[in-house]
């Protein structure tokens, strides 16, 4: 029952992101558009990239190939776990800068 609720909430969240994307496009708020675009792509890609990362980690563990940049496998896994948060920080930064510019332009006009 809980798993059905989680899936239902994720679908609602994805629809809300798409709705926000369309509203920002309709009202020409480019920072909001990019915010919702980044989060929508991030939400969709969170279902696509984990199997590829898992396969990559297993191939590194099974083979003699070292991870990139001299890391060990634990550091590489930690880096991969930070990537979603970094993407979210980038999206929110774009939104904050866009809201600041919009606020600044409206205070100069009045």
In this structure, the number of other CB atoms found within 10 A of the CB of residue 60 comes to 18
Q: What is the mean pLDDT of residues 32-55?
A: 93
Is 93 a residue whose pLDDT tops 80?
yes
Please provide the size of the chain in residues.
110
SS (H, E, C) 48-90: CHHHHHHHHHHHHHHCCCCCHHHCCHHHHHHHHHHHHHHHHHH
Contact by Cβ (8 Å): 7, 71: no
Task: Check whether 110 has a pLDDT greater than 70.
Answer: no
Say yes or no to pLDDT of 58 above 80: yes
C-beta separation of 60 from 76 below 8 A: yes
Q: In this structure, what is the dihedral angle of CA atoms 3, 4, 5, 7, given to the nearest 10 degrees?
A: 90
Q: Model confidence over 5-15: pLDDT tens digits?
A: 999 999 999 99
């Amino acid at each position: 029952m809980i798993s059905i609720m989680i899936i239902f909430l994720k679908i609602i969240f994805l629809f809300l992101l798409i709705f926000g994307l369309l509203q920002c496009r309709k009202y020409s708020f480019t920072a909001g558009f990019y915010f919702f675009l980044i989060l929508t792509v991030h939400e969709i890609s969170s279902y696509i990239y984990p199997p590829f990362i898992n396969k990559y980690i297993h191939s590194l563990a099974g083979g003699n190939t070292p991870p990139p940049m001299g890391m060990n496998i634990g550091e590489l896994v930690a880096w991969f776990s930070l990537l979603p948060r970094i993407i979210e920080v980038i999206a929110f930064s774009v939104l904050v800068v866009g809201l600041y510019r919009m606020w600044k332009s409206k205070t100069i006009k009045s």
